[in-house]
Amino acid sequence: MKTKRLTRKPFILRMIGICAFFGLPAFLARGQAVYVSNLKATYRHGQVFLTWTCPAGTGYKYKIYRSTSPLDKKSKINSSTYLGGYVLDSSSLNVRLTRKLGVKTFYTIEDGGQPLSANTGLYVVTCDAPGAYYYAVTVTRLSNGKEYSKMTVGSNTLATPVQEYVADPQPVLQGSFVTGSTGETCYRYVQFGDHRNLPHYPYMFNQGSYGFNFIMIYRGNYVGGPLYVFYEGIEGSAFIGSGLEQFSSFAINNCIMISMDDWIPLPNGYGSTAGSNTFWTGYHENFNPYILTNPIPTTGTIRMYHQHRYIHTIRWACKYLPIDSHQVNLVGKSAGGFGALVTAMIIPKKINTVYSIVAPIKIKSYNFDSDTSDEQLWGKSNSRLPCDILDQITGTALVAFDLMDIKTMMQKYTSLGLPVIYTIHGKNDATVGWSDKPDYLNQNEQYWHGGVHFWDQRKHDGSQANFFDSEITPPFSKFRANISYPAVSNCDINQNPGDGNPANGDPYGAFSAYVTFDSVTDNPCKWTCKFNLVNYTVGGVAQGNYTACYADITLRRTQHFKPTGGATIKWANYDKDNVKIQSGSFTYSAGANITIGGVKIKKSGNRLEVEIKNCLTREETDEALPQANPFHVTYTHDGWQLTFSTAEEGEAHLQLVDMLGRVLEERSIWIARGMLHHLPAPGRGTYILRIRLPQGDFEQTLVF
């Protein structure tokens, strides 16, 4: 009998049949090559915004390559062209805002633009050198580490380069909302940072590109007013709440307010509290915020990524917003109050005043659980790992846990001086504790730093408080970062906070709250100030009825009064009738504080005069000197920059006209010493720029 010969179907046909039954993704897709498509690049404000269409599915990592020559071959995708950063799935999704709002929210990469789509990838590159650059994006499977680097020009690699320039990156407006408490419009911004620490833009994340949120309110007549930076988050409630009554009631007005966020995208859920925080500091350079479990570091450096971001935001605001750059005030509650204090330790000369509410004074590592272990961020609590912040006196790297110990930093910077600091602490605060607060209060007195420090019976949420918010809020407008003030310490009528046991000491009180001052003069040979003794209030009730007290007075932020080592310092204290009631002298030691101990301060008022013996100043001549042009013009590819050298702050009126006398642009801006403004180029041609300043009118010819 003739038998029928059996034939075997080709392997690929059998695979197609199997996949048709089981489904392609379940079998074949695991080894299928995947690529991005529709890669585009847009330069804007010193950054290149790369977008692409993602392949179907998830579990991918997208790596970015950059070169001055076309990346048109697989061989060019190597370590020399790898930018060093990557993004994961859903890089166009604003994960933090999505979790806060409970609605998927995608990044907008241009002011007033449309949000990106869900299948769009995003990577933002900060330009580090001028030139034309090509980009390519590859896909790596997270499951097996396989990277697909075949290049298809116009799909996953650019056909034409991007012309780049180094410029200050600008945050991108994402939209706005109305706060439910004050009815003000609150603007949402995102600043895109990455892992590269550039001279003009710090690193903000250690894995690659990431977008960070902040919100801003323009209140009242804000031009030339102060800036308040809140370490409170990205909700409308960031500007209100326990301790912030003055801000929610408009008692503090005519200002710009920014609130920033402390968040890293740990994959620990999708709710509004998912992710983690760094206590407003940073984390180890090898810590990966994309995974739950990281090794506990024993070597390496703690990078203060978040502090770099906050400080950059402050500097950006001083440069580009119409504020008084000498009135930058930091405000924060709890961990946010600690973050504000840390910023003040890093850039003390830039900050005017700090208002810290129920904040911890020191942060160490605690191993709570695998999701939030502080030890993974900073090492064990006894770690002495360095951070990337330099000691402003020695120039060496600070130990991370020294920077995160406010008492230690107060001691380190005794001679340098810190901003004016106001704090409030609660004896019944079980969250951050009370036991270490009396030591903090006493140590602050020891090192003569300026400010007032309060305590009462409050809990962490502000309940059981004795003080009204209005009684403990700093008089922000009284201070300026470029004006000297007296730091008052060791006042003999201060209340007693006790020994750390909430039952000991006075139930409420303050250090240095009885003394106020005004009329500071700061000259090369002489420094003077008027003082008064006041009855401060607690819950509206005046405290004490003193007629005089004795306190130490330290001259802080002196701008002109700077004696040399070996000089003789004379001082005298006069009452309201100009009768000398105290006097003395001492030899000044170079770099030391100028502190006058035991100054009598009377309720009726008195005046302290401190001068350098045998100091002579050159009197200015009465002859009028010609006024120099106070501004300098720098040309850029897309406009011109004005840098003002004027010593007088005020409003400047700008007018740009063409050679036919037609006014092309007219505006008013607020100026200060060293302030830089960027204005767009009007097009090729010759123009006249006219500027009206407080000290006169000036004009300059511009050629483009």
169-290+305-366+400-482 under CATH 3.40.50.1820, yes or no: yes
Spatial separation of the C-alpha atoms in residues 418 and 398, rounded to whole Å: 17
Phi, psi of 27 (to 5 degrees): -135, -65
Q: What is the pLDDT of residue 681?
A: 65
pLDDT score recorded for residue 648: 60
Lowest mean pLDDT among 16-30, 38-52, 426-440: 16-30
H/E run at residue 135: strand 131-141
Quick one: CATH architecture of 516-614? Sandwich (2.60)
CATH architecture of 631-703: Sandwich (2.60)
Mean pLDDT value of segment 17-31:
43
Q: Which residues contact 562 (CB under 8 A, 6 or more apart)?
A: 524
Strands 451-456 and 485-489: unpaired
What's residue 208's pLDDT?
Answer: 96
Q: Which helix (H) or strand (E) segment is 581 a member of?
A: strand 580-587
H/E element holding 553? strand 548-556
Two tokens, residue 569? 């310092």
Q: Are 408 and 387 in contact (CB under 8 A)?
A: no
Of 2 and 660, more confident: 660
Q: Say if CB 106 and CB 94 are below 8 A apart.
A: yes
In this structure, the strands spanning 323-333 and 225-230 are: parallel
Per-residue model confidence (pLDDT) at position 13:
38
Which CATH superfamily includes the segment(s) 31-164? Immunoglobulins (2.60.40.10)
Alpha-carbon gap, residue 458 to 464, rounded angstroms: 4
Q: Which of 108-117, 317-326, 498-507, 667-676 has the weakest average pLDDT?
A: 667-676
Selected residue with higher pLDDT from 679 and 239: 239
Position 57, amino acid: G
Q: 164 φ, ψ to 5°?
A: -115, 150
Q: Tell me what the mean pLDDT of segment 583-596 comes to.
A: 94
Cite the DSSP H helix spans in 94-169: 95-101
Q: How far apart are CA 531 and CA 521, in angstroms?
A: 13
Lowest average pLDDT, out of 312-326, 374-388, 603-617, 661-675, goes to 661-675
Q: Report the alpha-carbon distance of residue 200 to residue 126 in Å, rounded.
A: 10
pLDDT given at position 480: 94
Separation between Cα atoms, residue 572 and residue 599, nearest integer Å: 9
| Per-residue pLDDT at 68 | 97
Phi and psi (nearest 5°) for 544?
Answer: 70, 165
What's the rounded Cα separation, in Å, for the pair 531 and 601? Answer: 6
| Local confidence band at 20 (pLDDT 50, 70, 90 cut-offs) | very low
Residue 38's closest CA among 139, 209, 157?
A: 157
pLDDT in tens, 226-265: 999 999 999 888 888 778 888 988 899 999 999 999 999 9
Are 516-614 and 631-703 the same fold in CATH? yes
Using CB atoms within 10 Å of the CB of residue 270, give its burial: 0 to 12 exposed, 13 to 18 middle, 19+ buried.
Answer: exposed
* Count of positions (residues) in the chain: 704
Average pLDDT over residues 460-466: 96
pLDDT value at residue 652: 74
Q: Where are the domains of the chain?
A: 31-164, 169-290+305-366+400-482, 516-614, 631-703
pLDDT above 90 covers a percentage of the chain that reads 74
The closest alpha carbon to 515, from 545, 470, 538, 548, belongs to: 548
In this predicted structure, what is the pLDDT of residue 286?
A: 97
Give the model's pLDDT for residue 343. 98
Query: Helices marked H in 271-329 — which ranges?
Result: 305-320
Place of tokens 């090492």: 379
Cβ–Cβ contacts within 10 Å for residue 350, how many?
17
| Dihedral, 689, 690, 693, 695 alpha carbons, nearest 10 | 110
Where b means 16+ CB within 10 Å and e means fewer, 199-220 reads eebbbbbbbbbbbbbbbbbbbe
Structural contact between residues 692 and 652, judged by C-beta atoms closer than 8 angstroms: yes
Q: How confident is the model at residue 676 (pLDDT cuts 50, 70, 90)?
A: low
- Banded model confidence at residue 143, pLDDT cuts 50, 70, 90: very high
CA-wise closest residue to 339 among 256, 410, 278: 278
Q: Which residues, listed in sequence order, are joined to residue 51 by a DSSP beta bridge?
A: 40, 122
The pLDDT of residue 631 is 67
Q: Give the contacts of 624 (CB within 8 A, at least 6 positions apart).
A: none
CA–CA dist 5, 157 (Å, integer) = 52
The 3-state DSSP class for residue 237 equals: helix
**Mean of pLDDT values over 458-487:** 95
Model confidence over 691-700: pLDDT tens digits? 877 666 777 7
Q: How far apart are CA 90 and CA 635, in angstroms?
A: 39
Could you count the other beta carbons within 10 Å of the beta carbon of residue 494? Answer: 21
Hey, which residues does 47 pair with through a beta bridge?
A: 44, 126
pLDDT band at 297 (very low <50, low <70, confident <90, very high): very high
Residue the block writes with tokens 């620990």: 268
Residue 373: per-residue pLDDT: 76
Nearest to 305 by CA among 225, 405, 195: 195
| Window from 4-18, 437-451, 663-677 with minimum mean pLDDT | 4-18
How much of the chain is helix, strand and coil, in % rounded to 5? 15, 35, 50
Average pLDDT, integer, range 547-575: 95
597-649 per-position pLDDT tens digit: 999 999 999 999 999 999 986 443 333 344 556 666 665 555 666 776 665 66
Q: Please compute the mean of the pLDDT values over residues 424-451 and round it to a whole number.
A: 92
Whether 4 has a pLDDT exceeding 80, the answer reads no
CA 490 vs CA 322, 467, 475, 669: distances in Å: 39, 22, 21, 44
Range with lowest mean pLDDT among 490-499, 592-601, 644-653? 644-653
Query: What pLDDT score does 14 carry?
Result: 40
Q: Does 12 have pLDDT greater than 50?
A: no
How large is the average pLDDT for residues 24-50?
A: 82
Check if the beta carbon of residue 489 is closer than 8 Å to that of residue 551. yes
Least confident of 87-101, 367-381, 435-449, 673-687: 673-687
What is d(CA 492, CA 118) in angstroms, rounded to the nearest whole number?
A: 64
Query: How high is the mean pLDDT of the chain?
Result: 88
Mean per-residue pLDDT for 486-502? 95
Which residue, 673, 679, 666, 667, is CA-closest to 630?
A: 673
If you ran DSSP here, which 8-state letter would residue 699 be given?
E
pLDDT at 21 over 80: no
Kindly report the CA angle at 395 between 391 and 400, in degrees rounded to 5? 35
